[in-house]
A = this chain, B = another copy of it.
């Protein structure tokens, strides 16, 4: 959190924290594809090799970056298990939308401590629901798949930051030309039909209702 930029007399010109925070900013602004050790170093006003005193290699840095995103998710929840699961899902979804570059990394990179804590928490919440084990497992995967899948889709069509001229033209082409009418219809359904409709929450509730219902079914 403290970020000593140059600090004449003191020793630590660089900090792991400062490195990660700067890298995060660069990834947020220009995408992770544009983030290189060299650019990061010059952004920090340091030599490239200085970074390697704080980070083993680039992959480890990216892992740290993704975990930094996971750290933004509030783990404290209120209410019963459906409310709690909902809060975790929404908070994760929002964190991913804040850092779109992290979406493809989310499921690719080995989890860091914050990510593990988040997963642990969601599993804990589901365990508290006393669902039959296979339903709990299904529920966990349905929720995480929904979170990731929906974030990916959000960014694919229509996220303002990721939008390139190229992509907008391709979408327009898809909607204009007659090939793939069902796909065009589906995209339109999302783009104009439901923009102020909270689709993420809507489907999320369907999943949670389904889980709650499974439990009721088993208990009678």
A interface residue numbers (CB < 8 A to B): 104, 107-108, 110, 116-117, 119-120, 123-124, 127, 133-134, 137-138, 140-142, 144-146, 148-150, 152-153, 156, 167, 170, 179-183, 185-186, 189-190, 202-203, 206, 210
Contacts and interface: CB of A to CB of B under 8 A. Distances in A.
B149 A116 contact: no
Contacts of A170: 110
How many copies the complex holds: the figure is: 2
B182 A127 contact: yes
- Summarize A's interface: helix, strand, loop or mixed: helix
B120 A203 contact: no
A139 B202 CA distance: 13
A189 B133 contact: yes
A141 B124 contact: no
Contact of A116 (B148, B183, B185, B202): B183
